[in-house]
Structure 1
Amino acid sequence: MHAAKTYIAHTEVTTMNTVAIDMDGTLLHSEGFVSQENAQALKTLQAQGHKVVIATGRGHKDVNRLLQAVNITPDGIVSLNGARVFWKGKLIHESHMDRDDAVHLAEWLTDRQYYFHVYTNHGMYSPSRSWEFFMNDLDIYTQDKEGGEEIKEAIRRKADGHHRQAHMNELHSAEMIREDDLTVYKFLIVSMLEEKLAVCRKTWGDKPSMLITSSGRDNLEIMHPHTQKGKGLLHLLKHADLDLSTTFAIGDNYNDLPLFNAAAVSIAMGNAESDVKHVATHETTNHDNHGVAEAIHHIILRSTAHNT
């Protein structure tokens, strides 16, 4: 791939595109940073008059932290899978879970020793024993694997880094959600044990007031059914008076499918789940090989050039 090393400022284009990009497994390297190649491609888009929207399961503060490291300011952010949508730094839409649902789910997960954390209007919360539950699952996952101790240490170190960066608050009990009047946007449940995640999905998947999706094989995301990346993108487009017919979406996992359904053109990463690749309009390279930059230079900008 030949990513552009410089970009042209103040270039006018006839077609102005909106490009919605997932983060984990897409814009981010597997080590958790935005590569210079991807950053330069985003700058090229914005310099040529296109709009860059980040559509992610992460919170908007985390998005800004990661992008500020490479001097990128996105035009819009669809955060927490669409629970909170921002345009030019201002909150324009919000959806949240039913509080009783959140309390019951937190009780069920804690009683059954799942690691989880909750995204709320006052930051992220996790039960005090949640980390212990994660490590128990990790012990089971690695016990019969060759090089199990090395695998366990690598996963533990990475997870510990994420946990510390999140500035996690302690959820003393599920009732704290009600007592502290917390607005709950999303639950993230993490386990390497597929059967354990399957039990959770089976137990809560039929509840009409909840939506279950995933951003990786080791997690589940649970939120209100109106909380979807695709719906978040549509709110953003309406607010900013942007054209749906010139939208592109880039992603890799199941929580990106609503985004693909909403956008005019969808691009799956080379590392995407097969179901995601199946519905995508195009495919690019792996996220560790600057697949977003590849998509921008060889699909999005070429498409724009052909339409002008």
Structure 2
Amino acid sequence: MQADIKLVAIDLDDTLLRDDISISDYTKEVLQKIKAQGVRIVIATGRMFKAARPWGMVLNLGDVPMVVYTGSMTARCESGTILNEHLMNLNTARQILQTGREHGWYMQSYIDDELYVPYRDDRTDSYEKNCGVTAHVLGDAFWVPEKAPLKVLVYENDPAVMEEVSRVMIEKYGDKAGYVRSSRYFFELNSKQASKGEALTELCAQWDIPLQNIAVFGNAQNDVSMLKLTPWSFAVANAAESARQAARFITASNNQDGVAKALEKYILK
């Protein structure tokens, strides 16, 4: 069964990237073959642009669009041209940060593609290492930003705390901001208008590509909006249950080149 696919959108962490933050040569080769047959490739990730861009360069896919910040921004990999941007409402972002401060939660904010934190701890070090970025420590000023963020994030390792974060933030701000539990440790809030699915829909409209002619790959709750767009949706075997339920197909895990195997089976001519 071969699909008539015009565009492929792929999440990075735990989908295209292996657990050790690497990409196999096999996967790189398959992506090059897909590109050579005229299929557009889009990277769609929760990462910052500056944390996603190096992977676009490694893949050598050209000036492809990168949907970043879970859809809050779309920018071209090589040129850095911003195609679309949805900032949070500044007052809402300040209220969210104050709620986090009152509860004693560790938070991060993203303004002008820079990472800001109130203080450093082991979570800051881990995030910097995994994403290849450097955080700016603001102290008390962190909690009252002067500019609207692209995204704010709560980072907590305790599952019980994360359940409380989800409950409180959705209850207080679910009608004012977009939100997603992007991993066991991350609860993200962004513009109500922003999602990976919406960003992909906008790109497809610009390129006159029907949604039934795109294929998407993901693993987490922040991928659900794009997994629901098309019948050619794939969750990797290690995906969260929400992503597995939204996808039509399950492919091999991120550590077993699941994206490349599905591309080779269904899309590569």
Q: TM-score under structure 2 normalisation?
A: 0.89
Aligned residue for 2:206, secondary structure, equals helix
2:189 to 222, 236, 257: 222
2:70 and 2:23 mapped to 1: Cα distance?
19
Aligned residue for 1:262, secondary structure, equals coil
Aligned residue for 2:109, secondary structure, equals strand
2:222 and 2:99 mapped to 1: Cα distance?
23
- The count of aligned residue pairs is 262
Letter in 2 for 1:117: Q
Cα gap change, 1:168/1:234 in structure 2, threshold over 3 Å: closer, same or farther?
A: same
Matches within 5 A, 1:27-176: 27-73=16-62, 75-87=64-76, 89=79, 90-121=81-112, 123-129=114-120, 131=121, 134=123, 158-159=126-127, 161-162=129-130, 165-172=132-139, 173-174=141-142, 176=144
Unaligned runs of 5+ in 2: none
Contact 1:80–1:185 (CA under 8 A) maintained in structure 2: yes
Cα gap change, 1:259/1:250 in structure 2, threshold over 3 Å: closer, same or farther?
A: same
Unaligned runs of 5+ in 1: 1-13, 136-155
Letter in 2 for 1:214: R
1:76 and 1:223 mapped to 2: Cα distance?
20
Offset, 1:198: 1.3
Aligned residues: CA RMSD: 2.2
Contact 1:249–1:259 (CA under 8 A) maintained in structure 2: yes
Identity %: 22
Question: Match for residue 152 of structure 2?
Answer: 187
Question: Match for residue 6 of structure 1?
Answer: none
Letter in 1 for 2:227: F
Offset, 1:175: 5.1
Per-residue CA deviations over 1:2-57 (Å, capped at 9, x if unaligned) read: xxxxxxxxxxxx94520010011101111112222221111111011001001100
Question: Match for residue 226 of structure 2?
Answer: 259
Contact 1:36–1:70 (CA under 8 A) maintained in structure 2: no
Question: Match for residue 285 of structure 1?
Answer: 252
2:10 to 21, 26, 29: 21
Aligned residue for 1:217, secondary structure, equals coil
1:272 to 215, 239, 254: 239
Aligned residue for 1:259, secondary structure, equals helix
Contact 1:81–1:255 (CA under 8 A) maintained in structure 2: yes
Per-residue CA deviations over 1:162-185 (Å, capped at 9, x if unaligned) read: 37x21111233245412xxx2311
2:205 and 2:169 mapped to 1: Cα distance?
32
Aligned residue for 2:145, secondary structure, equals helix
Contact 1:92–1:236 (CA under 8 A) maintained in structure 2: no
Letter in 1 for 2:91: D
Aligned residue for 2:46, secondary structure, equals coil
Question: Match for residue 145 of structure 1?
Answer: none
Letter in 2 for 1:194: P
Q: Which piece of structure 1 moves more, 272-281 or 84-93?
A: 84-93
1:197 and 1:260 mapped to 2: Cα distance?
24
Aligned residue for 1:69, secondary structure, equals helix
Aligned residue for 1:205, secondary structure, equals helix
Letter in 1 for 2:263: I
